[in-house]
Structure 1
Amino acid sequence: MLADISPLRDHPDFRRLWVGNTVSYIGQQMTAMAVSLQVYAITGSSFYVGLVGLCSLVPLIVFGLYGGAIADVVDRRKLGLITSSALTLLSLALALVAIADLRSVAVLYTIVALQAVFFAMNSPARSSMIPRLLPAAQLPAANALASLASGVGQMAGPMLGGVFVGFWGYQAAYLIDVGAFTASLYAMWRLPAMRPETELAAADAGTKAGAVARRRPSVLEGLRYLGARPNLRTTFVSDLAAMVLAQPRVLFPAVAVLWFGGHSSTVGLLAAAPAVGALLGSVFSGWLGRVNRQGLAVLIAIGSWGAAIAVFGLTRNLWLGLLFLGLAGCADTVSMVFRNTMLQAAAPDDMRGRLQGVFLVVVVGGPRLGDFLAGSAADLFSPTGALVGGGLACILAITLIGLFQRGFARYDARNPIA
């Protein structure tokens, strides 16, 4: 039942990449917390703190797609090195701004936006490297380990960021982030070259024209490919059903006060519960590698997410509510592991970057749209209506997806078909 660590044990390149990504992700979360605290210290306004998220959201969506297209036509290792180096320099820029005590939110917003640009180009490259480093049978374990690293970063990063800022100032968190990025840079440096497989095949055949033709990054080509592949397309549609229809986080402040008589600490517990559930889902993920009907597993996991959110909407006991939010987080981890595995295993190498770019856009944009929908429903009806209705709508949507996309439910990891 415990997480399968064989990808770390058997493949040194993957091990270094995973360790580097884990360390750098903790640093990124520290920086995100420090930037929010610094903006609030300058402005005293939560509105301006909220704009930090908007400054990163737009570049992530726009450059996530284009970054994936670039990752499919260049050496992914070089792209990872260049973008990681740029992120390191931007963290250093934040540290210099803090040391100089430059109280300008415009400068902070600009740096945050540039960080989002380079992260959006770095993430698809890193994710699309994994199938080149591991056999297909170990991809579920690798994605579970990636989820574990993400959970650790989301829990430890903000906490450490707050501690370091409190004791040594904003520059402490930023400088530690600079150091953390060196782990990612080292891992990238040690990787073998990751030139596109089509380019390698063309070079072997002596056809330079084919290699040159593949060098033009095309977002539209990736979207056309996705539109013609029902199983891969359904991985995104199913995730949107969960994140848009049954997204509870924007309602946590109202729920904490109206249902549980709590304050900010209660909101923190509610926000942390899905992350804890996701982390536990990653820790106890050893069984995921034995599941071959991965499409069916995605449908069940997303249905479970919707059911857990709906039941949470009916609870008035804090600890019971935290339990169901934790179960929702665990279900989300299972869904993420199998969806990402399907993208990596069923897609050809020259499309993996673009699909990972779409994956990034859906993961970033879906919850934001879900926040808007849940907040609007709560104002029109009530928090109970928004949560229960959203959970039931998620269950209905994923049921219809399963009925209309029978091939997705029959997807077998032993014979991956896009």
Structure 2
Amino acid sequence: MTRIDTDILISGGGVAGLTAAAAFGSAGFKVICVDPAPPVTSDKEDGADLRTTAFLHPSIPVLEAAGLWGRLQPHAAPLQIMRIVDAGGPVAEPRIVKDFDAADLSDLPFGWNLPNWLLRREMVARLAELPNVDFRPGTATQSLLTRESEALVTLSEGSRIRARMVIGADGRNSTVRQALNIPVKTIRYGQKALAFAVTHPIPHENVSTEIHRSGGPFTLVPLPDRDGKPCSAVVWMETGANVERLQALSAAEFEAEMNQRSCHILGPLTLASRLTIWPIISQIAERLSGERTALMAEAAHVVPPIGAQGLNMSLADLRCLLDLARAQPDQIGSATMMESYHRARHVEVQARLHGIDLLNRASMIGAQGLRDLRASALNALYSAAPVRKTLMRAGLGLR
């Protein structure tokens, strides 16, 4: 049986795992990255992830250090304004509209939005440029055995990897986390999210818009123009039963309901992609590290898609691991490093998850009186400039 030595074994080739492989590879570490499924790198292929990711500006230095931002920036749509619309009145129409403008904090936009399938395409291309990174799509982590000095990983194709550190970036049902017997706390909301792209006649002007009524937010996130028309990504969160009903509609019927729910903020929306569906949960691991092992991204924490928090929390995980590894490269994967990582991230992740959980529950409210209360709270929070700026800084992860 073949045994290969490496500095880092990354289990998981999603956006977070690929970013980690590029970042540690660019920092000079020897990296092997595995994923059971080859990455889908075109929006036309079956299985394409049609969701989008907004990289908030504190995450950009991580992408730059990984050699990724130069590849991604030409395809990115900047997010200058986060617009919150309350449409929770008796009729589905805007009654409160509040803009959170990045210019109130700095000369940078809040972030930049890109399709997930395109991220995978550019990230895989970057890994091919790094001679010290071995990316193995179609290969799964089969077993993990750790000891004080090393981690031994058996792969599905029979190889055995001896690594100084293993990073579990393998999703909410993480094989690595299960091998470490780390429990998770999961909150289920009875929600699902529809993700798709639309074109519209009114330019989005780099404004990301969350429309709140009931069931969860209807979010329009700027994308580059498609076929000469303004384009946005949509994440429409609803109860599971409503999502099933919407999915069963004809294209014309779906567009009619979609336009009613969007309150015609950008004019008539036209479907520009197929629909994909994602279950909505919150989840956090009891610990973010084990012997010779770190958990990051959805292996460590899952949050509803509100405020562009999910992947940016994952990149904060990566930034912390990178800083620790660079500070003491000879101690990578040590018990001291793993404990430092857990302590640095777990409290912050817990606090952020709790905040997003509260926002999601507020967005689901159906009773009219409670929706009126939600609208009053939004108006009060926005009207106090110090509070508004504090909320914006918190959303970006700034202190």
- Higher normalized helix content (fraction of residues): 1
What TM-score comes out, normalization by structure 1 length? 0.26
- Higher normalized strand content (fraction of residues): 2
Structure possessing the higher relative contact order (Cα contacts under 8 Å, 6 or more residues apart): 1
